[in-house]
Amino acid sequence: MVSSGQQNYYNKLETILTELPWYVEEYIDTKSRKLSAASLVNYCHDFKIFFNWLLAEGLFDGSIKDIPLTLLEKLTVLQVESFLSYLKFQLSNKEITVNRKLSSLKSLFGYLQNIAETDDLQPYINRNVMAKIDFNDVSESPETTANRMEGKILLGDEYETFRVFVSEGYLETVIDDKKKTNFYHFNRERDIAIISMFLGSGLRLSELVGLDLGDIDFNKYNARVIRKGNKEQYVYFSEQAMWDLQDYINIRIERYKVEKNNKALFLSAPMGPKGTSRRLTPRAIEKLVEKYAIAFGKPSLSVHKLRHSFATRYHAEINDVPKLRRQLGHSSIQTTMIYTHIQNEDLKNAINKLNMPKE
């Protein structure tokens, strides 16, 4: 059964595909069995950026939808490298983001060359320029990743302090601004529940956005989510998250004027002439977290950093990497191992002892 959150992504996918060439839609169809709708939308956004760049560079005179396969087949390595430079220097994409967009294009071009066939069993393109392009080297040791991350996540007492700040302390920072104060009072229970769910489960942004009311099991303290690869999984969340979520649900229908067919868990304030509530968008939740993080005095804290904060806390309390890997939905245990390098007090204490004078 497709949740309304997933259906929302499918609707977005259908819309963006109408703007892209026919062979992209064919490619997306082949990926739909293995990838979530959210991932497919991200792929299409990457393709749209690339195709728009082709038009801006004067490589094709027409609309994106009409870009022919012959153009893709004749692209040079220098032209693709120029596009990657555009991503980095014009769009200010980090190297890891450039790699992700390049990976999307490699996948599309690989399909066109190696999988797709014409009626006479010929590949759609014979030359694949993307196969000649290397990814940026952004590899680093788990220790380096952990050290870079450590100053940007919640550690120790900050974990609960941040939640309490959202619950109580934030109001003091906006008390002189009537508009912000009223907005906070209106959304307080919702915002606390969102922060608690991130801190109490380690969910990804797309997973939390896609939650429907029926996905929550309060008896088992878990939530049904659609993970990467379009995999369904039941993820546990903390008692505190459950309590905060229940407080929000108690006021959800009346305060947000929820229509019967709206199953989305987290909603925006009623908008428009009819006062309709809609599912919170990923960007709205990012801005929500950003607002509280800045007021808290930790502006580097983001949705993804809350996920890292949960993982670090989990490892410190339980020290069970396989279980943490499942909770986070990592495909590789090497990704999960990063959290074993954060706040390694045993190692730190051992090194400190080397500097102690002998008695």
Question: Is residue 351 scored above 60 in pLDDT?
Answer: no
The per-residue pLDDT for 95 is: 85
Question: Is residue 90 scored above 60 in pLDDT?
Answer: yes
The pLDDT tens digits of the residues spanning 273-319 come to: 777 899 999 999 999 999 999 999 888 889 988 988 888 787 777 77
Question: Is residue 348 scored above 50 in pLDDT?
Answer: no
Nearest to 268 by CA among 291, 255, 198: 255
Task: State how far the Cα of 168 lies from the Cα of 184, in Å rounded to an integer.
Answer: 10
Nearest to 125 by CA among 78, 50, 74: 74
Catalytic residue among 106, 228, 263, 326: 228
Catalytic residue among 43, 124, 314, 339: 339
Cβ 226 vs Cβ 10: under 8 Å: no
- Amino acid identity of residue 344, one-letter, is N
Q: What is the DSSP letter of 136?
A: P
Q: Which residues pair with 226 in a beta bridge?
A: 232
Catalytic residue among 163, 279, 298, 307: 307
Q: Which residues pair with 216 in a beta bridge?
A: 223
The pLDDT tens digits of the residues spanning 191-247 come to: 999 999 999 988 989 999 999 999 999 899 999 998 877 788 899 999 999 999 999
283 is catalytic: no
Catalytic residue among 101, 298, 315, 330: 330
Task: State how far the Cα of 264 lies from the Cα of 221, in Å rounded to an integer.
Answer: 18
The per-residue pLDDT for 344 is: 47
Could you tell me the pLDDT band of residue 121, with boundaries at 50, 70 and 90?
very high
Nearest to 209 by CA among 347, 1, 7: 7
Mean pLDDT of the chain: 86
Strand order in the sheet with 222-227: 216-217, 222-227, 231-236
307 is catalytic: yes
Gyration radius (Cα) of the chain, Å: 23
The per-residue pLDDT for 20 is: 97
330 is catalytic: yes
Cβ 142 vs Cβ 162: under 8 Å: no
The per-residue pLDDT for 354 is: 46
190 is catalytic: no
Q: Which residues pair with 231 in a beta bridge?
A: 227
Q: How many CA atoms lie within 13 A of 91 on its CB side?
A: 17
Could you tell me the pLDDT band of residue 2, with boundaries at 50, 70 and 90?
low
339 is catalytic: yes
Nearest to 329 by CA among 307, 297, 356: 307
Nearest to 195 by CA among 278, 314, 268, 288: 288
Mean pLDDT throughout 126-138?
Answer: 88
Query: DSSP alpha helices (H): ranges in the chain?
Result: 4-17, 22-31, 37-56, 69-74, 77-85, 95-114, 142-150, 158-164, 170-174, 178-201, 205-209, 239-256, 282-296, 303-318, 321-328, 333-336, 345-354
Q: Which two tokens stand for residue 145?
A: 């990743």
Nearest to 41 by CA among 7, 72, 71, 77: 7
Catalytic residue among 100, 304, 323, 326: 304
Cβ 315 vs Cβ 330: under 8 Å: no
Element (H, E) at 227: strand 222-227
Q: Which residues pair with 222 in a beta bridge?
A: 217, 236
The per-residue pLDDT for 341 is: 54
The burial of 250, by beta-carbon neighbours within 10 Å (0-12 exposed, 13-18 middle, 19 or more buried), is given as: exposed
Q: Please name each of the domains of the chain with its CATH number.
A: 4-139 (1.10.150), 143-344 (1.10.443.10)
Catalytic residue among 101, 204, 291, 313: 204
Task: State how far the Cα of 96 lies from the Cα of 313, in Å rounded to an integer.
Answer: 26
228 is catalytic: yes
